Amino acid sequence: MKTFHRDIKTKRLNLTKFFQEDVSRVTSLVNHREIASTTANIPHPYKEEMAVEWIGQQEQTLKQGKNVVWAIRLEESSELVGAMGLELNERHHHGELGFWIGRNYWNQGICTEAAQAVVSFGFKEIGLNKIYAYHICRNPGSGRVMKKIGMIREGRLNQHFFKWDKYEDAELYGLLAKDCTGF
């Protein structure tokens, strides 16, 4: 895995690392039932100490080549509006894309714009061969983002997640470097 600078600029966004100064903003963005409900690992309620721990471990997991996490900030106002991560598998040259966007910023194309940049970065800068993502079936908006960035549906994973005492079916999407035509 190559070493790389993480910051990425897009038309409307700056993708950077998270800082401990972001803790209270992260907590208020994530502490919504709607954010926790469709993500595999985010609990509800989401407490400040969870944000401290999550941000605190990011440099370590980056150094270990396990995970790259970006804060999504609006270029115009510098507001933090979401997060995007690539969980890396060095042996298999693939990465799992994951994301959340604060509730007030949904359906403005922010996730799609950030995901395009991160996918492009994953192929060009990190050297991945494949990037994939899952969404639970009752979260079609997330699937829409995957389609909009050119990912191909690879199949249904029955009862793949256990969320809030219920098994949830998921859809798997993937994109190969050779099929990524650029954005």
- The footprint of ligand COA (CB under 6 A) covers 35, 38-39, 99-101, 106-112, 135, 139-142, 144-145
Closest CB to ligand COA among residues 9, 33: 33
CA 61 vs CA 17, 36, 124, 154: distances in Å = 13, 22, 20, 28
Closest approach, Cβ 142 to ligand COA, in A, equals 4
Question: Residue 55 or residue 145: which is nearer to ligand COA going by CB?
Answer: 145
Closer to ligand COA by CB, 108 or 158: give it. 108
Token representation of residue 8: 């990425």
Q: Name the residue nearer to ligand COA (CB basis): 59 or 154.
A: 154
For the bound state, the minimum distance from the C-beta of residue 103 to ligand COA, rounded and expressed in Å, comes to 8
Sequential DSSP letters for 10-68:
-SSEEEE---GGGHHHHHHHH-SHHHHHTSSS--SS--HHHHHHHHHTHHHHHHTTSEE
State in angstroms the smallest separation of the CB of 63 from ligand COA.
26
